[in-house]
A and B are shown apart, each in its own frame.
Chain A
């Protein structure tokens, strides 16, 4: 096995890839138009027919789909195959409003797992590896996706799911896991626990980690790499487009290659919907050109990022996307200012050496927003004097003020006191919405 899972696709020339995308897009639009009444109506309203779509250059003519459409069409409104042809559903956690339910035929599962296999191979995985999957299993796409990809590659797969961290570490040591797949916050937690148990990177055989499903920064990457003695790779995806593996990182670690033979990416201006040229920062939009059961056309991800076709040292020609710089639906408006949790994370990682877990709490008291950030005080942030802790609070507070232009109350809390669900830290509590 070489450096690629599917070299002919991953290193395909731009011309060939465009031709493949054109053919698949034309067929997909026809398939959707004929089978999804909801999308046909959107196309009819816009005055577009399948005949107008002759290739990727015509993509901009198609209407967008948003999360609101998914809610309105729930559960079967966007289904493009009879249920009897479907073999699986996956679903989002549904923390904001109604959950998303995505349907898969066996073909859809295969292509999804194939995308995950590409990610595992890009992270150095071969059939000789032991792949420990600690994403949640079940409705969440993380566990099933990487599990399937790991099978395809032929790794010995440890379907651990998340939680019971000491047992994770015991398996990791006893069965000599070489690849870890989980959320970055859980990877950091496993790393911390490993050290608490008196072990270090030399006591485990891990060489790589594939981490996704939540935003993380370069600082966090370095922290995890140091804690576990591995190279940490990013992976991206969303339930709406299949799950993890829509894009994946290579050894260059400078962005994620999008599996363009399955998903066409566009960057648009989130306000006007206008398609922006390569290199612009904007909202990422995906069109599934191979999925059968739940093929979303021009789905607005709400993730803000940049696309680039710059030559990559790994040899792949697949377009690269940056790590999402924020999500428009994660964005909080506090005291009239746009605040992305990722901005707060970058401040916290600059003022402390550790991996601080944090939580943003927003409320409205007497018609004014209150903004509090709780930060877990890790051991290396803690020292014996009140003054040093107050100085730390002050420094975080000043940096937040400098970056956001508004003040936050910083509150240092005890380690592990911020709740985590499915290994994912609960980052934002907006009490204004609960009223």
Chain B
């Protein structure tokens, strides 16, 4: 139960971020979650899209370096300590988190979604589901 994350290499120069996001928008693609990791010269724009296949094609056609990573999208309680609880479950399950970020999606006021990149997807899925967390798959992303 993973979702496809697109990572795009972007140089740190004026207008690049705007060009990439505009490109996605013009192609009627919707960003479900995103984060940017950056250094002085370049950044990696990480995206969860409603239609990752189409987004990949659009980005490649426009000459972007893109790579796909399978990441987890989990639902947590939108309340103080909700994130800490999930982290604790993963820590106890021996899963280490490489990075994570919040998604724009939510079903209702009580829930929030997190995107997680972990060292072992299978182990993380097992640990989380055993502890009552639900994960979102690629198809469900389209409907939220």
Q: Is A412 an interface residue (CB 8 A)?
A: yes
Of the residues B39, B60, B69, B117, contact of A386 by C-beta under 8 Å: B39
Cβ A414 vs Cβ B98 within 8 A:
no
- Count of A interface residues, CB-CB < 8 Å: 19
Residue of B nearest to A196 (CB): B60
Of the residues A383, A390, A414, contact of B39 by C-beta under 8 Å: A390
Of the residues B7, B11, B16, contact of A384 by C-beta under 8 Å: B7
Interface string of B1-35 (1 = CB under 8 A from A): 00001010111000010000000000000000000
Residue of B nearest to A416 (CB): B63
Please judge, given known A-B contacts A377-B65, A384-B69, whether A414 and B9 are in contact too, CB under 8 Å.
yes
Please judge, given known A-B contacts A196-B60, A411-B41, whether A383 and B67 are in contact too, CB under 8 Å.
yes
Q: A416 vs B98: C-alpha distance in the bound complex, in angstroms?
A: 30
Interface size class of B (residues with CB under 8 A): 20 to 34
Cβ B42 vs Cβ A412 within 8 A:
yes
Please judge, given known A-B contacts A384-B46, A390-B39, whether A415 and B7 are in contact too, CB under 8 Å.
no
Q: A385 vs B46: C-alpha distance in the bound complex, in angstroms?
A: 10
Interface string of B104-144 (1 = CB under 8 A from A): 00000000000001000000000000000000000000000
Cβ contacts under 8 Å, A384 to chain B: 5, 7, 44, 46, 67, 69, 117
CB contacts under 8 Å to B, within A366-424, are 377-379, 381-386, 389-390, 411-417
Q: Is B64 an interface residue (CB 8 A)?
A: yes
Q: A390 vs B117: C-alpha distance in the bound complex, in angstroms?
A: 19
Q: Is B84 an interface residue (CB 8 A)?
A: no
Cβ contacts under 8 Å, B38 to chain A: 386
Interface string of B54-84 (1 = CB under 8 A from A): 0000001101111101000000000000000
What's the nearest-Cβ distance from chain A to residue B61, in Å?
8
What's the nearest-Cβ distance from chain B to residue A379, in Å?
5
Cβ B41 vs Cβ A412 within 8 A:
yes
What's the nearest-Cβ distance from chain A to residue B100, in Å?
13
Q: A383 vs B66: C-alpha distance in the bound complex, in angstroms?
A: 8
Interface string of A87-119 (1 = CB under 8 A from B): 000000000000000000000000000000000
Please judge, given known A-B contacts A377-B9, A390-B39, A413-B11, whether A382 and B67 are in contact too, CB under 8 Å.
yes
Cβ B44 vs Cβ A386 within 8 A:
yes
Interface string of A236-273 (1 = CB under 8 A from B): 00000000000000000000000000000000000000
Cβ A414 vs Cβ B69 within 8 A:
no
CB contacts under 8 Å to B, within A194-225, are 196
Cβ A379 vs Cβ B65 within 8 A:
yes
What's the nearest-Cβ distance from chain B to residue A383, in Å?
6
Cβ contacts under 8 Å, B9 to chain A: 377, 382, 389, 412, 414
Cβ contacts under 8 Å, A377 to chain B: 9, 65
Cβ A379 vs Cβ B66 within 8 A:
yes
Residue of A nearest to B16 (CB): A414
On A, residues with C-beta under 8 Å from B are: 196, 377-379, 381-386, 389-390, 411-417
Query: Across chains A and B, which 7 residue pairs bring their CB atoms closest together, nearest first?
Result: A416-B63, A382-B65, A384-B7, A384-B69, A415-B63, A386-B37, A377-B65
On B, residues with C-beta under 8 Å from A are: 5, 7, 9-11, 16, 37-39, 41-42, 44, 46, 60-61, 63-67, 69, 98, 117
Pick 12 A–B contacts, CB within 8 A, sort by A: A196-B60, A377-B9, A377-B65, A378-B65, A379-B65, A381-B65, A382-B66, A383-B67, A384-B5, A386-B38, A414-B10, A414-B64
Given A386-B44, A414-B9, A414-B16, 19 new contacts (CB under 8 A)? A378-B65, A379-B65, A379-B67, A382-B9, A382-B66, A382-B67, A383-B7, A384-B44, A384-B69, A385-B98, A386-B38, A389-B44, A412-B41, A413-B11, A414-B11, A414-B64, A414-B65, A416-B63, A417-B11
